[in-house]
Amino acid sequence: MLEFLSGVNQDQFIDMNPGVFFPHDRPLGAAKLLSRAPLIAITLLIFSAGVANATSVSLISGGGGFIMDGQSYNETRALDVSVLSPMDLIVQSMTLDGINGSGLAKAVIYDSSTHSLIASAQGTVTSGTVTVPISARLASGDDYLIGFYGMLGSGDFLQADFPYTESSGLFHVDGAFQSPFDAFPDNHNLFAPQVSMQVSVPDSGTSLGFMMIGLAAMVGFHRCVPRFAYQRRP
């Protein structure tokens, strides 16, 4: 602790000791907060890039046609889709509905061009439906076969009017395909399985909001913080 000499006030002491500074020479509370603006701005910008909403997509919505009851489901059934979204989509889960039997259902996502299996996961059908968590990145503009394999007895399918764009506008559905095995489905079929997905879609409004706040904080840092708040007294 510094002690003042008798008869010497603070200003005189500062003049005598230019290298010593007092608490009031440090940034004030608001200035301290603003001094952290660049870090806050960077954090908001990074966070905004990852903001996303989970959107439910039914791949048979928008397909017109009519439901056909009691079709065989002892095979792989899938839909050939093109990603219309201008940004890549992240699949979080897949659901199969309309099953009349029971058993294990395996969700599958294949690359239409290479026939490679991108992702798979399985779950048990309960009361005609099954939802399984699954993770896959679907690239904008690319084509995929998305469906389920299982020895499930039978199911109800949509005899769709191919091709069509499903109701969310994220996918164009080109047709239905089938394989008698747990393998890439390459046989054309008339019936679309009742497949839906949860996908992660970037929320441009929220992201833009955070980016604007971040940019404003960076600009405010340069304009609003008094320079003297950071300068020691001479």
Tell whether 71 and 103 lie within a shared domain: yes
Q: What is the pTM of this model?
A: 0.68
Q: What is the 3-state secondary structure (H, E, C) of 19-63?
A: CCCCHHHCCCHHHHHHHCHHHHHHHHHHHHHHCEEEEEEECCCCC
Confidence of residue 210 (pLDDT cuts 50, 70, 90): very low
User: What is the pLDDT at residue 1?
Assistant: 44
Cβ density class 196-222: b for 16+ within 10 Å, e for less? bbbbbbbeeeebeebbeebeebbeebe
Is 223 found in the same domain as 207?
yes
- Per residue in 127-150, pLDDT tens? 999 999 999 999 999 999 999 999
- Average of per-residue pLDDT values in the chain: 79
Q: Does 82 share its domain with 156?
A: yes
Number of domains comprising the chain: 2
Q: What are phi and psi of 75, to 5 degrees?
A: -175, -170
CB 97 within 8 A of CB 77: no
> Which secondary structure element, helix H or strand E, spans residue 179, and what is its range?
strand 171-179
Residue-range definition of the domain harbouring residue 175: 58-201
High-pLDDT (> 70) share of the chain, %: 64
Which value, to the nearest 10 degrees, does the dihedral of the CA atoms of residues 135, 99, 60, 81 take?
A: 40
Q: Which CATH number goes with the domain that contains 154?
A: 2.60.120.820
Q: Are residues 162 and 229 in the same domain?
A: no
Do 99 and 163 lie in a common domain? Answer: yes
pLDDT at residue number 136: 97
DSSP for 123-149 reads EE-BTTBEEEEEEEEE-TT-EEEEEEE
